Amino acid sequence: MSKAGRDLSKYRMETRLALAGRDPARFDGAVNTPIHRTTTIVLPEVADLYDRPIKTYGLEGMAVQEALCEALVAVEGGAGAVLAPSGLGACTLALLSVVEAAGEVLVTDSVYGPTRRFCDTLLKRLGVGVRYYDPRVGGGIAELIGANTNAVLLESPGSLTFEVQDTPAIAAAARARGVATIIDNTWSAGVHFKPFAHGIDLSVQALTKYQLGHADAFMGAVLAATPEGYARVRACYKQLGLGAAPDDAFLVLRGLRTMALRLQHQASAALEIARFLEGRAEVARVLHPALPSHPDHKLWQRDFTGASGVFAVVLKPVTQARLTAMLEGLDLFAMGFSWGGYESLIVPCDKGVVRTAIPWLKEGPLLRLSVGLEHPADLIADLKAGFSRLAN
């Protein structure tokens, strides 16, 4: 789709994001890949209908969905990408593409909550066992892999609690036993962590977050390291009858054009805010992998090239009434789920932390912050005012 013969891998990320998934010569010079709203593809020859390896139905995705897949590969690498209607849909698609009846998946205990719900309900109903493991297990995963293990699911940093996993060690142990690995790589947006260079088979992106960046649509993607892995996920996508709306694919592609700039601003603002929080007496711990105080900071430094704008903070114990006053009085940080958009969000998330493999040490309330595009000084002032409500 990108201008024929153009190798984008030689370019830096900003340049790749500007070029990927565009071929003006194919579309009357249009700088953006057009949207085709179509169910039906009309074909001139009878043989086209059944006997040729060509696209025959709009659900397979038209030019704009193909352009997006190509752009995602230009960002994160791999042999191909398959879209899904949401980030959660991408997580479940990846899992369904590798599990087998009477098989089993090993799932990080810090996995995104709705993915955990899928494992505990639908996967179990299909006869697939699920065992949760300590996100910091590293190469020790080898001892957990059994004869019927189909896959190991990673998420790094983990949802809400931000443990960084030793991905290369886990991937190597799984590969040695012929077990597939899937990582939810949404936090890095595929920019700051390259799963395939660390031995992972499938990478999941919730494109709803940074790729879209404007909190106005849902989409997900599964990227595969190899053509075989891609074919497997793509086949599962078709078997399930999934599709990705062309208008939404266009929005994600548009979001990609500015993603590097947004990520840069959001990462640096988030780190500034994390440092501010670390200096506050009301705070017990800040869970941001780019802070030297984070227990996995060295792993993050080894494997990541940067951060994004989402992290968490553990407050010292405080009454619910004071916490409510702090949160409900905030002017800029709004309370809401999701993250990665232009608007700053904060959520109390103790109720979302589920642990069955290792205990989660609760010193006090856990808050997740998603830093948007506002000025960090304004956001810090908003939090400072919040702390004064916490104290009174």
Ligand X SMILES: Cc1ncc(COP(=O)(O)O)c(C=O)c1O
Figure out which of the listed residues 63, 68, 82, 88 binds ligand X, where binding follows CB under 6 A: 88
> Which residues have CB under 8 Å from 228's CB, separation 6+?
none
How much is the CA Rg of the chain, to the nearest whole Å?
Answer: 22
Q: Does 250 bind ligand X (CB under 6 A)?
A: no
CB of 338 to ligand X, least distance (A): 5
CB of 85 to ligand X, least distance (A): 8
* Own/partner long-range contacts of 204-208 (Cβ < 8 Å, ≥24 apart): 204/87, 204/90, 204/91, 204/94, 205/72, 205/76, 205/87, 205/90, 206/86, 206/87, 206/88, 206/90, 206/91, 206/340, 207/72, 207/83, 207/87, 207/252, 207/255, 208/86, 208/87, 208/338, 208/340
Task: Say how many CA atoms lie within 13 Å of 128 toward its Cβ.
Answer: 23
Q: Does 268 bind ligand X (CB under 6 A)?
A: no
**b/e burial code for range 110-124 (CB count within 10 A of at least 16 → b):** bbbbebbebbeeebe
For ligand X, the closer CB: 76 or 184? 184
Figure out which of the listed residues 87, 229, 341, 386 binds ligand X, where binding follows CB under 6 A: 87
Q: Does 220 bind ligand X (CB under 6 A)?
A: yes
CB of 159 to ligand X, least distance (A): 5
CB 190 within 8 A of CB 71: no
> Which residues have CB under 8 Å from 359's CB, separation 6+?
none
For ligand X, the closer CB: 78 or 386? 78
For ligand X, the closer CB: 56 or 86? 86
Figure out which of the listed residues 208, 266, 344, 370 binds ligand X, where binding follows CB under 6 A: 208
Residue 237: φ, ψ to 5°: -60, -45
Q: Does 21 bind ligand X (CB under 6 A)?
A: no
CB of 244 to ligand X, least distance (A): 12
Q: At what angle do helices 87-98 and 227-240 cross, to 10 degrees?
A: 110
Burial class of 304 by CB neighbour count within 10 A (0 to 12, 13 to 18, 19+)? buried
Q: Which of 278, 304, 299, 305 is nearest to 369 (CA)?
A: 278
For ligand X, the closer CB: 268 or 338? 338
Residue 284: φ, ψ to 5°: -85, -45
Q: Does 86 bind ligand X (CB under 6 A)?
A: yes
For ligand X, the closer CB: 150 or 186? 186
In the chain, the amino acid numbered 261 is L
Q: Does 307 bind ligand X (CB under 6 A)?
A: no
CB of 391 to ligand X, least distance (A): 31
Pick the piece of the chain touching ligand X (CB under 6 A) from 82-90, 97-105, 119-127, 275-283: 82-90
Pick the piece of the chain touching ligand X (CB under 6 A) from 80-88, 166-174, 343-351, 352-360: 80-88
d(CA 185, CA 328): 31
Copy the structure tokens of residue 42: 């009309």
Q: Does 186 bind ligand X (CB under 6 A)?
A: yes
d(CA 272, CA 277): 9
CB of 46 to ligand X, least distance (A): 41
Taking CB positions, which residue lies at the least distance from ligand X?
87
CB of 113 to ligand X, least distance (A): 9
CB of 212 to ligand X, least distance (A): 9
In the chain, the amino acid numbered 333 is F
Q: Does 76 bind ligand X (CB under 6 A)?
A: no
Figure out which of the listed residues 70, 163, 184, 296 binds ligand X, where binding follows CB under 6 A: 184
Q: List the end-to-end C-alpha distance of the chain, in Å, as a whole number.
A: 59
Q: Does 344 bind ligand X (CB under 6 A)?
A: no
> Which residues have CB under 8 Å from 11's CB, separation 6+?
19
Figure out which of the listed residues 159, 161, 188, 344 binds ligand X, where binding follows CB under 6 A: 159
Pick the piece of the chain touching ligand X (CB under 6 A) from 81-89, 141-149, 223-231, 278-286: 81-89
Figure out which of the listed residues 112, 162, 304, 333 binds ligand X, where binding follows CB under 6 A: 112
For ligand X, the closer CB: 91 or 270? 91
- Residues within the interface to ligand X (CB under 6 A): 86-88, 91, 112, 159, 184, 186, 206, 208, 218, 220, 338
